[in-house]
Chain A
C-alpha cells in the first residue's frame, strides 16, 4: 500500500469556469462556497469526484464544480448515481438535490438508495418551495402555504425529510444550515467519512419565493433558543444559557424538551449517533414544529452497515476469482453449455 500523498488542492481548484447563475442572495451560493472550500480536505483527486444532480435550482450545482458532473433529470439523480457508484467503487459520488426533486418526483429513488445503503453522499437543499418553476408549494412546505398553485393554502401535510430517511433506515442522517459554514462543513466531513449512504438536509433560503423561511435559526438572539446543536457523547442542552434540555420521559415513545434547571442531570439525554435502533434518531427528528422551535442540527445517526456497492462488488469479484480461463474461452464454454449436438459435414 502506498502512503497517501497530500494533493494540496484549494477551493479555487474546485471552481469551474462556468458563470454561477443563481439569483443574487440565494442560499445556494453559500453552500457552493462551503463545499468548494471543504473539498480539498478529502484529499481525493478531482477526477475521482463526481457530482450528480436532478432538476431544480440546486441541481445546477454540478456545473459549478470543477470535477466530473452530471445534471440529469428530475428526481432521478439517486438512481443514476447508484449505477455509477456500484460500477465504479473508486469514485466519490455526491448527489445534489432539492425538496421537490428528492421528496416529490424522486421520492422512490431516494428511499431505495437509502435502504440499499449505496455509497452516495446525498445533499438535500431544503428551501420548502419550488424555486425554478417560480413559486409553487413543495412537499416540505407547511400546511396552509399560500403560493401560486395554492391560493387558498396548501391542503397536504409535508414530509419531514429526516423522518423519511430514517424510516428508510438510512445509515447516516444529518442536518445543517446554509448560513453556518463551519457547521455545514463539519457535517459534510462526517458524511464523507461514512461508508454507505449519507443523507444531509441543508436548510437553504430561497430569497425570492420563500424568504426568511429559516430566520429563527439564523438571527442572533433568537437562534440559540431554537437550535439544538447535536454533539456525539454530549448531553443535549440548548438555549442561550443552556436553559433547555432533551429528556426521554418514562413511558413515552419520543423525546421532550424540558427546563434544564428543573431536570436532574442524569435524565438529560446524552447524544449517541451510533444507536442501532433508528427510533432514537427518529425521535430527535420529531422535536421541531413548523415554528422551527427545538430544531436539532448535526449528525443524528451514523451507524455501520455494509454498503450495497461493496456487497455487489464482492459477489462479482468472488465469481471472477474462480475463473482460470480467458474471457473468450469462458464464453465459448458458456455458449456450448447445456444439451448440444454435432452435425458432421
Chain B
C-alpha cells in the first residue's frame, strides 16, 4: 500500500505511560533519531518522584514531550499534536493538554475494566464521546508486541516490556525517522543479554511495519532539517552540559576538579556524570550529607583544586553556613543549585525558580556571592565555565542556578571548539607580598579584581592561618576593630560588584518596542517564543534575559529606563521583580506561576498582548 506523505514544519509528540513503561527512554530515542535528521529539537520530560508509583494510577504517569521543526525553536511546545497513551491513566492525565484534532494513539490492551476503574472512568473513553473531535488510533500494542516476539526465546514479561519499542517503531515510521542509531543503542544497552536485543529490535520493526501496512495510518509525515549554523551537533540535557562544562573548566584552568555532593533530585545526574571523568583529574566524593559535601569542596579549594558542590534547594539551605565561611575565606567555590519546586520536599521532580532569593540573600551576615543562571540546556555548559571563571578570578563562591526544566530538557548543541573556550588559568601565590619582602599578607588584594592571593598549603614561606573570625585588612589576623569590620564588609560587597559582567543585550529587531520582557534562567525559551509570535503579528516587544543576577550588568538600569513598561515572568511569586523594583525603582509587572511546569509560549503571548494594549 502506498501511503500519502505530507510535509510539516513542526510537530509536538508526547509519549505517556506508566512510570515502568519506559517512556523516558522511548522519548530519548525518538529525540536522538530526530536529531540525526537535523531537525531543531526541544524536549520536556515530566515524571513522578516515586520510582514505581502504583501501576495504572494517575500519580504514576510519566511522560516525555518532544518538539521538532524545520526551523529553530525555543520550547518543547505548548500543546502536543500527537499523544501516545500507553494506558487509561496516561490518557486521562494528558487529555486536557491536547487541542481538538490531535492524534491519539492508545494501547487498547490496557483499557480493561480494572484499569479504567483505577482512574475513575465509568465507561471506556474509546467507546463513549470523551474523544470526540480527536483522531484516535486504537492499537493493541501489548498483544501485537507479544505476538511479534512469539518465535523468540524470551519470557512473556520481557516480551511485554518491549511494547515501548513497538510504539517507538510506529512513531518512527509515522514521522520518517532514521532508526539505525536506535538499533545500535539497543545492541549496546542489552549487550549482555542478546535475546533482549533481538526482542526489542523485533518489537521496533513490528511497530514500523504495522504503520506501513495498517490502513488506520493513511498518512506519513516528513519534517525537513532545520537551517542551523554549520558545525557538529549533539543533543544534550542541561545536567549533562553542566557536567561537561565543569570538566572543561578543569581542563581550561589546569586545576584538579573536586566535586563534593550528596544525592538529591534533580542534581544527582551531575555527580553520576562527573564520577565517570577521573581521567581528567576529576575527583568526586559522595559525602555523608549536604554540609560535608560543600565542606569537602571548600577544603579542596583551600588545597588548590576547583571545588564544586552540586545540589538542589534543600541542600543549598543546609550549605548556607559553609557558603558564608567561603565568603569570609575568599576562596573559589562553585555551588550548583538545580532548582525544584519547594518549600521543603515540595515536588522534587518538578521545576521552579524560587531559590533566587536564597541565592542572593540566604545567608547570615553580609555575605554577598556571585549568582548566574543558564537559559537553556546547552547553555548550562557555558554557564558552568562562567561560574568557574568568576570563582577562580575573584576567589569567591558562585551560585549557579539551574532548574529541573533545563536540567532534564534537551536541545541540539553546536559543539564548541575547545581552543575557543575561556582561558581559566590562575596564578597561585609563591612569594611573600609584604613591603618588607619577607611577610606574607593573605588579605592584600589585587587592585583590579579585589581578589586576595591564593596561597595553597605546601608553599614554603607563606604559612598562614585563615578562618571564619573577622580578619584585619591585609594581614588576615583576627580583628574586632569596628572600623576594620565595616571596611571588610564593604570590601567583600565591592569585590562582588567589581566582577566583570557583560552588558545586557536587548532583542528588539525593529527598535520600536515600548514594552520590555525581562527574564532569567530557564524562562528564556517560552519568553522568546512568545515575543517572536507577537512580532510576527506586528506587535513590537523587546526581550532581555539576565544571565548574571549578582552582580547585575552595569547597563541594566539604562535598559530598564528605556521602556514604558517592564514585564518580568518568573516561575516564583516575583523574586526578580522584587529586586528590580528595589534597586532600580522600576514599577515592573510580574507574571508568576508555580505549577511545577515551564510557562507555555501561548500564555505569555496572551499576557503580553494585554500589556501591549494598555501601554
List 25 contacting pairs A-B, 8 Å CB cutoff, sorted by A.
Answer: A18-B478, A47-B458, A52-B299, A68-B463, A68-B464, A69-B467, A73-B468, A76-B322, A79-B292, A82-B295, A83-B301, A87-B283, A87-B300, A108-B288, A312-B283, A312-B285, A319-B279, A320-B281, A331-B248, A334-B247, A336-B234, A339-B234, A340-B232, A342-B232, A343-B231
- The answer, yes or no, to whether B189 is at the interface (CB within 8 Å) is no
| Bound: A65/B303 CA distance, A | 18
Question: Which residues does B use to contact A, with CB under 8 Å?
Answer: 32, 35-36, 38, 181, 225, 228-235, 244, 247-248, 251, 254, 256, 258, 260, 277-283, 285, 287-289, 291-292, 295-305, 307, 321-322, 325, 329, 415-416, 418-419, 456-469, 477-478
CA distance A90 to B303 in the complex (A): 10
Q: Is the CB of A316 within 8 A of B278?
A: yes
From A197-205, A215-223, A245-253, A321-329, the one touching the partner chain is A321-329
A315 at the interface (CB under 8 A from B): yes
Interface residues of A in 69-87 (CB under 8 A from B): 69-73, 76, 79-87
**A15: min CB distance to chain B, Å:** 12
B233 contact set on A, CB distance < 8 A: 340-343
The answer on a CB contact under 8 Å between A339 and B235 is yes
User: Is A334 a contact partner of B234 (Cβ separation < 8 A)?
Assistant: no
The answer to whether B292 and A50 have CB atoms under 8 Å apart is no
Residues of chain A contacted by B465 (CB below 8 angstroms): 16, 18, 62-63, 65, 68-71
Q: Tell yes or no: A345 within 8 A of B by CB.
A: yes
From B291, B416, B457, B467, contact of A335 by CB (8 A)? B416
Q: Out of B248, B292, B329, which one reaches A112, CB within 8 Å?
A: B292
Check A68 against B295 for contact (C-beta < 8 Å).
Answer: no
A261 interface residue, CB < 8 Å from B?
no
Q: How far is the CA of A91 from the CA of B303 in the complex (A)?
A: 9
With A76-B292, A83-B297, A327-B280 already in contact, the answer to whether A50 and B230 are too (CB < 8 A) is no
B305: nearest chain-A partner, CB-CB? A87
Q: How many A-B residue pairs have CB under 8 A?
A: 198
Least CB distance from A76 to B in Å reads 5
Interface flag for A235 (CB, 8 Å): no
Q: Name the residue on A nearest B178 (C-beta).
A: A341
Q: List, in ascending order, chain A residues with CB within 8 A of B462's CB.
A: 47
**Is there a chain B Cβ closer than 8 Å to A254's Cβ?**
no
Q: How far is the CB of A49 from the nearest CB of chain B, in Å?
A: 8
Once the chains bind, are A320 and B279 in contact (CB under 8 Å)?
yes
Are B467 and A319 neighbours in the complex by a CB distance under 8 Å? no
User: Interface residues of A toward B: which range?
Assistant: 35 or more
B38 neighbours in A (Cβ, 8 Å): 341, 343
Given A55-B468, A80-B296, A83-B260, 20 additional A-B pairs, CB 8 A: A62-B465, A69-B466, A73-B468, A79-B291, A80-B299, A82-B295, A82-B299, A83-B285, A84-B299, A87-B258, A109-B288, A312-B283, A328-B419, A331-B247, A331-B248, A335-B418, A339-B234, A340-B234, A341-B234, A345-B229
* Given A73-B322, A73-B325, A342-B231, A84:B181 Cβ within 8 A: no
List residues of chain B with CB within 8 A of the CB of A331: 247-248, 251, 280, 418
A315–B282 Cα gap in the complex (Å)? 10
**B467 close to A70 (CB less than 8 A):** yes
Contacts of A79 in B (CB 8 A): 287-288, 291-292, 295-296, 299
Would you give the shortest CB distance from A42 to chain B, in whole angstroms?
15
> Which residue of B32, B228, B299, B464 contacts A339 across the interface (Cβ within 8 Å)?
B32
Complex: A63 Cα to B291 Cα, angstroms: 24
Say whether B302 contacts A80, CB under 8 Å: yes
Instruction: State A65–B260 Cα separation when bound (angstroms).
Output: 28
Contact check, B463 vs A46: say whether CB atoms are below 8 A apart.
Answer: yes
A5 to B152, CA, bound (A): 72
Q: Are A108 and B300 in contact (CB under 8 A)?
A: no
Q: A332–B247 Cα gap in the complex (Å)?
A: 11
Q: Is A176 an interface residue (CB 8 A)?
A: no
Question: How many angstroms between the C-alpha atoms of A334 and B300 in the bound complex?
Answer: 25
For residue A67, CB closer than 8 A to chain B, the reply is yes
Q: Which residue of B lies closest to A54 (CB)?
A: B468
